[in-house]
């Protein structure tokens, strides 16, 4: 029997308000998760305009439950500002990233998830590519200041699409502070191949991982209910030597939300043991 995958369990989500934190943070800890991955969005916790106060408070709440905050999602602003033709907007992407990295450091984390821009009809693919490379090379210096890593994630923003382009993009940026944040389920959901092949090909370039399930080229599903070949994924992670964080990022149940954390924790344990 293969040894259990040696990773930590994370819960990635958007905290809407203090009431949500009070209701659900303890449930996440009691379900056996090791940490959380919040999202840096206006009006949420932490937010770009209040993070200097909110970030230490959220860290303290997590400390009380024995949870850590290894990473932070940079939120929606990079989707439009990184590939923008407007230099001022590209500057906003860098400033937003700097704020997010400062927030992350206040919470004790080291990986900032960034989506490298949404494809747009009026922005040529090659121009988008050049702007992401420029962003990556400039933001790497900011990441050094905060002793952090920028993890570029594959999402429905659809840039870049292929495994080869992802590998070439990270190689073009060419800085150890900029790596890939791999989402296993998004590869399957968008019909872009097989996650285990991506993991093998990106060995050494992956900084963190999201787990979700999906029908191939179809819809997202609960863990273990889609087309992801979980034994192959776990085998590829094991062969690559990955021993970092693996986080889920589900939609909360409308009723009895504490059951979601419990179910996902058990599903992750089952997957890690494959």
Classify the C-alpha dihedral 221-245-104-98 as positive or negative: negative
C-alpha distances in Å from residue 230, one per residue of 25, 138, 141, 201 = 28, 36, 36, 17
Q: Residue 245 domain-assigned?
A: yes
**What pLDDT score was predicted for residue 191?**
97
- Domain-located, residue 47: yes
The per-residue pLDDT for range 127-144, each reduced to its tens digit, is 999 999 999 999 999 999
Owning domain of residue 233: 8-272
SS3 of residue 238 by DSSP: helix
Do the domain assignments include residue 210? yes
Nearest to 38 by CA among 253, 249, 262: 249
Sign of CA dihedral 232, 236, 201, 94: positive
> Going by C-beta distance under 8 Å and a sequence separation of 6 or more, which residues neighbour residue 84?
90, 93, 123, 131
Model confidence pLDDT, tens digit, residues 76-110 = 999 999 999 999 999 999 999 999 999 999 999 99
- Residue 3 inside a domain? The answer is no
3-state secondary structure of 41: coil
Task: Give the alpha-carbon dihedral of 138, 155, 196, 130, to 10 degrees.
Answer: -30
The 10s digit of each residue's pLDDT in 205-239 is 999 999 999 999 999 999 999 999 999 999 999 99
pLDDT bracket for residue 1 (50, 70, 90): low
Task: Give burial (CB, 10 Å; 0-12/13-18/19+) of 98.
Answer: middle
Residues 182, 202 contacting (CB under 8 angstroms): yes
**How many domains in the chain?**
1
- Residue 108 contacts residue 68 (beta carbons within 8 Å): yes
Scan for tokens 């230490």, then name that residue: 56
Rounded Cα distance, 179 and 167, in Å: 10
Any idea of the CA torsion for 162, 76, 101, 67, to the nearest 10 degrees?
A: -90
Rounded to the nearest integer, the mean pLDDT of the chain is: 97
pLDDT, one tens digit per residue, over 29-79 is 999 999 999 999 999 999 999 999 999 999 999 999 999 999 999 999 999
CATH number where 14 lies:
3.20.20.150
In a domain, 120, yes or no: yes
22: phi then psi, degrees, rounded to nearest 5: -60, -35
Tell me: pLDDT of 251 over 90: no
> To which residue do tokens 């932070």 refer?
72
Pairing of strands 220-221, 213-214: antiparallel
- Does residue 2 fall inside a structural domain? no
Residue 176 belongs to a domain: yes
Domain contains 230? yes
């Amino acid at each position: 029997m293969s040894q259990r995958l040696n990773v930590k369990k994370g819960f990635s989500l958007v905290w809407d308000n203090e009431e949500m934190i009070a209701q659900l943070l303890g449930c996440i800890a009691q379900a056996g998760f090791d940490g959380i991955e919040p999202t840096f969005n206006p009006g949420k916790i932490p937010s770009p305009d209040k993070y200097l106060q909110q970030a230490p408070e959220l860290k303290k709440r997590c400390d009380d439950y024995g949870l850590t905050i290894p990473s932070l999602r940079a939120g929606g602003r990079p989707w439009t500002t990184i590939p923008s033709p407007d230099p001022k907007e590209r500057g906003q992407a860098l400033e937003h990233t700097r704020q997010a990295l400062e927030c992350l450091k206040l919470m004790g984390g080291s990986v900032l998830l960034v989506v490298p821009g949404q494809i747009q009809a009026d922005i040529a693919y090659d121009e988008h590519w050049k702007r992401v490379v420029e962003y990556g090379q400039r933001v790497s210096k900011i990441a050094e200041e905060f002793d952090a890593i920028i993890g570029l994630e594959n999402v429905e923003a659809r840039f870049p699409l292929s495994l080869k382009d992802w590998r070439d993009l990270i190689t073009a940026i060419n800085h150890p502070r900029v790596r890939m944040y791999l989402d296993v389920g998004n590869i399957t959901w968008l019909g872009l191949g097989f996650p285990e092949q991506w993991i093998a090909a990106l060995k050494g370039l992956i900084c963190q991982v999201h787990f979700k399930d999906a029908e191939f080229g179809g819809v997202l599903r609960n863990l273990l209910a889609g087309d992801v070949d979980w034994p192959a994924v776990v085998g590829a992670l094991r062969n690559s030597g990955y021993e970092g964080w693996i986080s889920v990022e589900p939609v909360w149940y409308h009723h009895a939300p504490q059951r979601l954390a419990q179910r996902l924790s058990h599903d992750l344990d089952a997957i890690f043991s494959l």
